[in-house]
């Protein structure tokens, strides 16, 4: 068998995915156990406009690790993929295209435009899906869903109608966030608050009618004064008490406006008097309603001044109008002052245009009503369980406690059209279909609402709509509630909370048991990766450079941590993949006569010490990995497997077993040793598979003896693949603490001798003699029977073991645990002064530690109050140190002669 020395990830990456998919490994139907527990995940549907970024790769890796792990556990596993139509983004994308062609959506008309968007979606919307295949994502493609699919659209209409019938969805006038560039309303969550550091606060004076008095108000938006219909002061403010109820004359405009008292006004802030513009400010809107103030709209949808703003202002841009207003006030002597002021402005989350609060008629959802059940679920059952719990459980709960109405309608064409129809008289009919609406209206002469729904409206239904709701499908019954939701923190409100709302509302059950919030990946300098900064690291480039598996295991390891990306991490796991490759290469080059599975044969008591040891280590690694994955602690899981594989298996086990495994002549003992190595390797590949699917499959298939036997019982009918192998279960009976202790002694001996060789400058090729002593017979037996292994590992010509040492004075020595000692005769090489110094340093180290321990043991409070077990442990250590110190002292004394 030809096996290259270096692992080439591309080979495996190209070879296995299509086969897995073709054999149906990703679909839950592969599981033939009717009693199998169910495990399900729905993917956060990426935008059709999107291409894969590191955040996706992180989320997908976590989901794939979970899916593959549970599948190997024999669970009926579904990971459902899909994409989101992404209303605004997609529409903007296509509109840009049209602009290049010299046309526009308005020129095309609604139907033609939508045709173009669908065309675009078919052509480019699949990019992210093919990128997911590259990642190795084990999603069930047969269940792929798109938010505009007929089934999902039906769910959207059902949701809308039911909420309307409950009175939770309504149409009405409200002050909404308007993006003057995208020409649509936006919900509060689609607006970003951005700090404006170089802002200005203008102090404007309004004359009191029939008096010389002036009231000063402060504003960051002077142009809105054209729409002022009152000035408000605090009811508790003595300074203005006599003014309440009096009239002001609005400068420039000349309108007479009242002074009202409202509790909203903070007398401590600014001048204590606030201009009130009900049509253009959320707070003023509320105050306007409380005091029944007129609403004067002075800014339009394009952020230009209206006719109502006055002839001089009409048609001006809002910023031009601002300058002009300020100029006029100055001319009138009514501009008191302009102060530098830091405040925050609202920007469109998509195009960063400054939002204009506008009065308009839109559809709204009373989220507070829908949020009650999720809130109860959290309070009573603490569900869903957030990972990490802090801070997300609280963030989620706090948001649910303060819900505002959700502006649902968008003035776009791409999306789910609002299922509301109007007759000629303007009466509205909300229905699941146009036929229904006609029946309700008693006429065919209806016009459908022009607007579409917020993209997140359909996303809110994702876990149930993808599984077939509102129908009671088998999928819905089987896979809902889903097991876990994996996503980034920025959509906890936009998406996570809302899925919980609809899920609980329509099924009575939570949408998912757990919510796993991934960390954020920053660039090397700690900056958020973004398109505009062009500092993003492209996952595909990293895949290309280091391999998919290496990238995945790094991402899994990152998990919930915010981290700065650095390639060196991936490089080190690329090296790990190569290490796995070469360990397997060694096993395979020495596999004649051996078979996977036979490694467990025979009574463990009869196995070689190093075999008992590696099997024990394997069980612990298996146990710890399982526990870590179950606890979503992927970092710990990766560390466990990494160190088991590299340190235990490669550095020690392969070296300790080499003489047996690579013996020149065939024998049952050699077969057994080879089988053992192969079996441990095979088990390790299974542990690694969820993290590194490609290399594990590539190697696993090459192992002699793998087949149906290794598959989980639920998959016995399937073609052999490590993907469907049973995830290892720890076998407690193979945990052997004694063997672990003995190998630890052996490892210590080898390490100390290697240290002596390096420090004393023994040439690498030169063999040394070892004189080993151990007072304990059992320990002596370990060294005696391991003499050949020790000799091989330290390049010794001889390893003499006895109950005491009589070594030449010209020897380097080391004291070991359990009172053991080793001497390496180094005639001619040893410099006595140097050796004395080396040993002296060690004695000093021991001395310091002894001092600390003695102090603690001398403390009656410690001995009295600490657990007896801790005290005993410390006494044991103290004795061990004392013994070593004594032995070192003797050695030093002997050297001094």
Partner RNA sequence: GCUCGCUUAGCUCAGUGGUAGAGCACACGCUUCACACGCGUGGGGUCGUAGGUUCAAGUCCUACAGCGAGCACCA
Q: Which of 211, 561, 667, 834 binds RNA (CB under 7 A)?
A: 561
Q: How far is the CB of 465 from RNA (least distance, A)?
A: 25
CB closer to RNA, 3 vs 249: 3
Least distance to RNA, CB of residue 745, Å = 14
Comparison of 751 and 785: residue with beta carbon closer to RNA: 751
CA separation for the pair 889, 894 (Å, rounded): 9
Q: Which one of 120, 124, 141, 862 is in contact with RNA (CB under 7 A)?
A: 862
Report whether 72 contacts 714 (CB < 8 A). Answer: no
524, HSE (Cβ side, Cα atoms, 13 Å): 7
By CB under 7 A, tell whether 368 contacts RNA: no
Phi, psi of 40 (to 5 degrees): -140, 145
* Nearest in space to 773 (alpha carbons), one of 824, 823, 825, 821: 821
Considering beta carbons, is residue 209 or 870 the nearer one to RNA?
870
Residues 171-190 contacting RNA, CB under 7 A: 188-189
The overall longest dimension of the chain from CA atoms, in Å, is 117
Single out the residue of 301, 507, 575, 883 in contact with RNA (rule: CB under 7 A).
575
Residue tagged 């802030």 (tokens): 269
Nearest residue (CB) to RNA, 432 versus 702: 702
**Which member of 200, 216, 271, 295 binds RNA (CB under 7 A)?**
271
Stretch that binds RNA, among 100-108, 244-252, 501-509, 635-643 (CB under 7 A): 635-643
Q: Where are the beta strands (DSSP E) in 245-355?
A: 247-249, 256-261, 273-276, 335-340, 343-348
Residue from 24, 151, 235, 267 in contact with RNA (CB under 7 A)? 267
| Among 321-329, 374-382, 395-403, 533-541, the segment contacting RNA (CB under 7 A) | 395-403
Cα 225 from Cα 601, distance rounded (Å) = 89
Burial 778-816 (b: 16+ CB within 10 A, else e): ebbebbbebbebbbbbbbbeebbbeeebebeebbbbbbb
Considering only 130, 390, 606, 804, the residue that binds RNA (CB under 7 A) is: 390
Q: Does 585 bind RNA (CB under 7 A)?
A: yes
Peptide bond into 384 cis (omega under 30): yes
Helix (H) or strand (E) holding 153: helix 150-166
Q: Under rule CB under 7 A, how many of the chain's residues touch RNA?
A: 88
Stretch 423-462 residues interacting with RNA (CB under 7 A): none
Ramachandran angles phi, psi of 259, nearest 5°: -100, 125
Q: Which two tokens stand for residue 73?
A: 């556990």
Binding region for RNA (CB under 7 A) out of 51-59, 295-303, 766-774, 858-866:
858-866
**Least distance (Å) between residue 756 CB and RNA:** 9
Part of the chain binding RNA (CB under 7 A), chosen from 29-37, 369-377, 408-416, 754-762: 754-762
Least distance in angstroms from the C-beta of 410 to RNA: 20
639 near RNA (CB under 7 A): yes
First-last CA distance in the chain: 61
d(CA 387, CA 503): 20
Smallest distance, Å, CB 189 to RNA? 7
Indicate which single residue of 53, 275, 416, 843 sits in contact with RNA (rule: CB under 7 A): 275
Residue nearer to RNA on the CB measure, 426 or 765:
765
- 653-672 residues near RNA, rule: CB under 7 A: 654-655, 658, 662
**Least distance to RNA, CB of residue 868, Å:** 10
SS3 track for 420-439: EEECCCCCEEECCCHHHHHH
Residue of 239, 382, 528, 716 interacting with RNA (CB under 7 A):
528
Q: Is 813 in the site for RNA (CB under 7 A)?
A: no
Q: How many residues does the chain have?
A: 897
Span interacting with RNA, options 96-104, 312-320, 631-639, 682-690, rule CB under 7 A = 631-639
Least distance from C-beta 164 to RNA, angstroms?
A: 25
496 vs 462: CA distance, rounded Å? 10
Q: Minimal CA–CA distance to 554: which of 567, 544, 545, 541?
A: 567
Give the one residue of 854, 877, 883, 885 binding RNA; rule: CB under 7 A. 877
Structure tokens at 318: 């809002």
> Which 8-37 positions form the footprint of RNA (CB under 7 A)?
none
Nearer to RNA, 658 or 702 (CB): 658
Residue with token string 């201009």: 275
Tell me whether residue 20 or residue 576 sits nearer to RNA (CB atom). Answer: 576
Q: How many CB atoms lie within 10 A of CB 193?
A: 12
By CB under 7 A, what part of segment 506-525 binds RNA? 522
Q: Could you write out the DSSP letters of every residue in 693-725?
A: HHHHHHHHTTSTT-SGGGB-GGGTTSPP-GGGB
In the bound complex, what is the minimum distance in angstroms from residue 267's beta carbon to RNA? 6
Binding status of residue 859 toward RNA by CB under 7 A: yes
Q: Specify the residue, 129 or 685, whose C-beta has the smaller distance to RNA.
A: 685
Does 751 contact RNA by CB under 7 A? yes
Least CB distance from residue 687 to RNA, whole Å? 17
Structural element, H or E, at residue 318: helix 318-332
Residue 301: Cβ-neighbour burial (10 angstroms; 0-12, 13-18, 19+): middle
- Give the DSSP per-residue string, 277-307: -TTT-HHHHHHHHHHT------B-TTSBB-G
521: Cβ contacts below 8 Å, ≥ 6 apart: 54, 55, 58, 529, 537, 558, 562, 563, 564, 565
Nearer CB in complex with RNA: 264/832: 264
Q: Does 850 bind RNA (CB under 7 A)?
A: no
Residue span binding RNA (CB under 7 A) among the ranges 36-44, 171-179, 756-764, 773-781: 756-764
Which residues within the stretch 277-306 sit at the binding site for RNA (CB under 7 A)? 282-283
CA distances from 557 to 150, 392, 651 (A): 39, 20, 23
Tell me which residue of 205, 473, 179 sits closest to 333, measured CA to CA.
205
Range 204-263, binding RNA (CB under 7 A): 217-221
Q: How far is the CB of 140 from RNA (least distance, A)?
A: 32
Does 108 engage in binding with RNA (CB under 7 A)?
A: no
Q: Report, in Å, the least distance between residue 335 CB and RNA.
A: 15
Residue 203 engages RNA in binding (rule: CB under 7 A)? no
Q: Is 136 helix (H, G, I), strand (E, B) or coil?
A: coil
Alpha-carbon span 225 to 258, nearest angstrom = 14
CA-CA distance, 345 to 89, in Å (whole number)?
22
String of contacts with RNA for each residue 324-343, x by CB under 7 A: -------------------x
DSSP state of 651: I
Contact map string, positions 830 to 849, toward RNA, x by CB under 7 A: -------------------x
Show the site string, 465-504: x = touches RNA by CB under 7 A, - = not.
------------------------xx--x-----------
Q: Report whether the peptide linkage leading into residue 719 is cis, meaning its omega lies within 30 degrees of zero.
A: no
Select the span of 62-70, 150-158, 503-511, 748-756 touching RNA (CB under 7 A): 748-756
Between 655 and 719, name the residue whose CB sits nearer to RNA.
655
Beta partners for 230? 276
Q: What is the strand order of the sheet 214-219 is part of?
A: 214-219, 200-207, 335-340
Within positions 760 to 779, which residues make up the interface with RNA, using CB under 7 A?
764-765
Residue closer to RNA, measured from CB, 517 or 823: 517
């Amino acid at each position: 068998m030809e096996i290259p020395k270096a692992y080439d990830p591309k080979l495996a990456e190209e070879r296995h995915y299509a086969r897995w998919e073709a054999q149906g490994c990703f679909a839950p139907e592969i599981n033939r156990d009717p009693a199998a527990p169910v495990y399900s995940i729905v993917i956060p549907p990426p935008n059709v406009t999107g291409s894969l970024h590191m955040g996706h790769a992180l989320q997908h890796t976590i989901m794939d690790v979970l899916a593959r792990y549970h599948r190997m556990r024999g669970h009926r596993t579904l990971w459902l993929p899909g994409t989101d139509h992404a209303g605004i983004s997609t529409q903007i994308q296509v509109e840009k295209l049209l602009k290049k062609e010299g046309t526009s959506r308005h020129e095309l008309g609604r139907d033609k435009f939508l045709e173009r968007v669908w065309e675009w979606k078919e052509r480019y919307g699949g990019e992210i899906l093919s990128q997911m295949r590259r990642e190795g994502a084990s999603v069930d493609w047969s269940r792929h869903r798109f938010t505009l699919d007929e089934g999902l659209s039906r769910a959207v209409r059902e949701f809308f109608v039911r909420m309307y019938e409950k009175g939770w969805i309504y149409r009405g006038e409200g002050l909404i966030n308007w993006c003057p560039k995208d020409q649509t309303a936006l919900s509060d969550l689609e607006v970003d608050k951005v700090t404006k550091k170089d802002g200005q606060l203008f102090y404007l004076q309004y004359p009191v009618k029939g008096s010389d008095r002036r009231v000063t108000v402060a504003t960051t938006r002077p142009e809105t004064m054209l729409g002022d219909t009152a000035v408000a002061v605090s009811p508790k403010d003595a300074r203005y008490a006599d003014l309440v109820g009096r009239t002001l004359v609005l400068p420039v405009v000349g309108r007479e406006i009242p002074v009202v008292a409202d509790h909203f006004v903070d007398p401590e802030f600014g001048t204590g008097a606030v201009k009130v513009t009900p049509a253009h400010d959320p707070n003023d809107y509320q105050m306007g309603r409380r005091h029944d103030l007129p609403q004067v709209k002075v800014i339009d949808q394009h952020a230009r001044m209206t006719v109502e703003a006055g002839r001089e202002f009409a048609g001006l841009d809002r910023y031009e109008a601002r300058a002009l207003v300020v100029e006029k006030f100055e001319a009138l002597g009514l501009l008191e002052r302009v102060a530098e002021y830091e405040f925050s402005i609202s920007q469109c989350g998509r195009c960063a245009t400054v939002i204009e609060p506008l009065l308009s008629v839109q559809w709204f959802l009373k989220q507070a009503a829908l949020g009650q059940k999720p809130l109860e679920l959290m309070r009573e059952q603490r569900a869903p369980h957030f990972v990490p719990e802090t801070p997300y459980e609280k963030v989620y709960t706090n948001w649910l406690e303060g819900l505002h109405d959700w502006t649902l309608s968008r003035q776009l064409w791409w999306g789910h059209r609002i299922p509301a129809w109007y007759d000629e008289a303007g009466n509205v009919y909300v229905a699941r279909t146009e036929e229904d609406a006609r029946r309700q209206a008693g006429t065919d002469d209806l016009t459908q609402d022009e607007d579409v729904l917020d993209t997140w409206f359909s996303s809110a239904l994702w876990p149930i709509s993808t599984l077939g709701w509102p129908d009671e499908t088998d999928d819905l019954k089987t896979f809902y509630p889903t097991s876990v939701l994996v996503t980034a923190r920025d959509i906890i409100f936009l998406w996570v909370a809302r899925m919980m709302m609809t899920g609980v509302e329509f099924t009575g059950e939570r949408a998912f048991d757990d919510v796993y919030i991934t960390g954020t990946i920053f660039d090397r300098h700690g900056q958020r990766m973004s398109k505009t900064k062009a500092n993003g690291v492209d996952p595909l480039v990293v895949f290309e450079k280091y391999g998919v598996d290496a990238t995945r295991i790094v991402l899994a390891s990152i998990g919930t941590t915010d981290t700065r990306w650095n390639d060196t991490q991936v490089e080190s796991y690329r090296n790990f993949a190569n290490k796995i490759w070469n360990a397997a290469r060694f096993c395979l080059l020495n596999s004649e006569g051996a078979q996977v599975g036979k490694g467990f044969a025979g009574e463990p008591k009869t196995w070689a010490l190093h075999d008992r040891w590696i099997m024990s280590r394997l069980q612990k690694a298996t146990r710890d990995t399982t526990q870590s994955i179950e606890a979503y602690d992927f970092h710990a899981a990766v560390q466990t497997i990494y160190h088991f594989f590299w340190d235990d298996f490669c550095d020690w086990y392969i070296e300790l077993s080499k003489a047996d495994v690579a013996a020149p002549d065939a024998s049952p003992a050699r077969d057994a040793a080879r089988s053992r190595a192969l079996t441990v390797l095979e088990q390790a590949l299974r542990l690694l598979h969820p993290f590194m699917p490609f290399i594990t499959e590539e190697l696993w298939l090459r192992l002699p003896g793998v087949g149906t036997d290794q598959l989980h019982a639920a998959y016995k009918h399937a073609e052999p693949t490590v993907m469907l192998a049973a995830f290892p279960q720890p076998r407690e009976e193979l945990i052997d603490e004694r063997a672990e202790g003995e190998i630890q002694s052996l490892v210590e001996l080898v390490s100390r001798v290697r240290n002596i060789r390096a420090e004393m400058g023994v040439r690498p090729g030169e063999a040394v003699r070892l004189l080993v002593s151990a007072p304990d017979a059992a320990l002596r037996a370990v060294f005696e029977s391991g003499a050949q292994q020790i000799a091989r590992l330290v390049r010794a010509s001889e390893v003499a073991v006895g109950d005491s040492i009589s070594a030449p004075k010209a020897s380097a020595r080391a004291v070991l645990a359990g009172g053991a000692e080793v001497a390496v005769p180094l005639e001619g090489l040893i410099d006595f002064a140097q050796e004395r110094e080396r040993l002296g340093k060690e004695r000093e180290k021991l001395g310091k530690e002894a001092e600390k321990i003695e102090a603690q043991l001398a403390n009656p409070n410690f001995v009295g109050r600490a657990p007896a077990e801790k005290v005993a442990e410390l006494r044991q250590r103290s004795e061990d140190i004392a013994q070593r110190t004594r032995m070192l002292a003797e050695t030093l004394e002997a050297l001094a002669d």
